[in-house]
Structure 1
Amino acid sequence: MGVVLIPLLVGALVAVGLGVFGKVHDPQLFSINIAGFSGPGYVKSWLGTLAAALAIGQVLSALVMYGKFPGVTAPTWIGPVHVWSGRLAVLASIPVAVHCLYALGFQDFDTRVLAHSLFGCFFYGAFTAKMLLLSRKGVPGWALPVVGGLVFAALIGIWLTSSLWFFSNNEIKF
């Protein structure tokens, strides 16, 4: 059990640490802008959408690797696709998370914003736990799918409370 408990505790510390830092630090005037986008909200929403789409690819490739699609044999390339889609999803999320953490901090002025802040902290904590579990020997077979599912659920929660909300309240453009 310790083989799972320690990564989970470290992940919990990361999640709580991000939340505390986001709440106590003074948000700075800081903006994420990428050429070709009409503003920071669009950059963040499209990067979040890219991360969510790659996360869906993660789930599908994991289901293929674990033999959960009857009659589908995992091709040899599915493992590298799974790894790289995960790397790219996290890479797409980093500029968004940095902007949210430093420019906005942990906010709770309404339910959607509070949920978004909680999902964001939980995502990086669960991601940390998953990465630590991947590098450990003797991890029970259930642990990676469960923690991976939590990472996925948190990222989709982030997307629902940010990108989907933004696109629902603004014209969809770049």
Structure 2
Amino acid sequence: MTTTSTKNNSKLLVPLLIGALVSVALGVYGGQHKGDSIVFKVSGFEDLIKVKSWMAVAAGVFALVQAASALIMYGRIKAIRAPSWIGVLHRWSGRLAFFIAVPVAVFCLYGIGFQAYDARVFVHSLLGCLFFGVFTVKMLVLTKPGVAGWVLPVLGGTVFTVLVGTVLTSAAWYFSAH
């Protein structure tokens, strides 16, 4: 490995440590805080679980837009020439996915806490905490010039995969069970 690539890869260390700290802090908080099931009404919904589930689905849809727009931007979908507005779509779909995911996470961590009473719930709790850690890493790496070209697509793919896993172990399960 050359000195330049070692130096460029070392730029990932601080974001990775901060992301790991975010994931662990959320998990510890969720584990220590056994939920009180925040009770409030949202117009049009019978209960907060339905609101959370629909918001998770919306975040998942924006994540799909993120994945598709990234593939178009990076030229991975050869049949589609990248329009000039694809970068704006990519950034805004990511912002919307994140801002929709935040209240869902608040409900989960504060209202329910980190749970492990069965495999699905445990995996969901892990993925939820991991999502915010990986997202943090991706956002911190975006501001670092000179990072290897493979890093951002790998981080973006990881954020996408973790979010989809989180949605599948929550909203998809909820709608299939109810």
TM-score category (smaller protein): over 0.9
Q: Residues of 2 paired with 1:165 and 1:100: CA distance?
A: 15
Once the two structures are superposed, residues 25-59 of structure 1 have per-residue CA deviations (whole angstroms, 9 ceiling, x without a partner) of 24234135421112111101100000001000000
Q: Residues of 2 paired with 1:15 and 1:31: CA distance?
A: 26
CA RMSD of aligned residues (A): 1.1
Q: Who wins on radius of gyration, i.e. which is larger? A: 2
Amino acid at match of 1:53: V
The corresponding residue for 1:40 is 48
Ranges in structure 2 where 5+ consecutive residues have no aligned partner: 1-8
TM normalised by structure 2 equals: 0.92
- Count of residues paired in the alignment: 170
The corresponding residue for 2:101 is 93
Amino acid at match of 2:90: H
3-state SS in 1 of match to 2:11: helix
Query: Residue 142 in 1 paired to residue 150 in 2?
Result: yes
Q: Residues of 1 paired with 2:41 and 2:55: CA distance?
A: 12
User: Aligned runs of 1:1-174 on 2, under 5 Å?
Assistant: 1-31=9-39, 33-170=41-178
- Percent pairwise identity: 51
Q: Residues of 2 paired with 1:130 and 1:5: CA distance?
A: 12
1:92, distance to aligned residue in structure 2 (A): 0.9
Q: Residues of 2 paired with 1:22 and 1:96: CA distance?
A: 13
Does the Cα contact within 8 Å between 1:11 and 1:129 map onto a contact in 2? yes
3-state SS in 2 of match to 1:162: helix
Does the Cα contact within 8 Å between 1:33 and 1:43 map onto a contact in 2? no
Q: Residues of 1 paired with 2:40 and 2:136: CA distance?
A: 24
Does the Cα contact within 8 Å between 2:57 and 2:167 map onto a contact in 1? yes
Q: Residues of 1 paired with 2:165 and 2:41: CA distance?
A: 24
Compared CA separation, residues 145 and 33, structure 1 to 2 (3 A): farther
Once the two structures are superposed, residues 106-135 of structure 1 have per-residue CA deviations (whole angstroms, 9 ceiling, x without a partner) of 110000000000000000000000000011
Amino acid at match of 1:115: V
Does the Cα contact within 8 Å between 2:34 and 2:114 map onto a contact in 1? no
Ranges in structure 1 where 5+ consecutive residues have no aligned partner: none
Compared CA separation, residues 133 and 40, structure 1 to 2 (3 A): same
Amino acid at match of 1:129: V
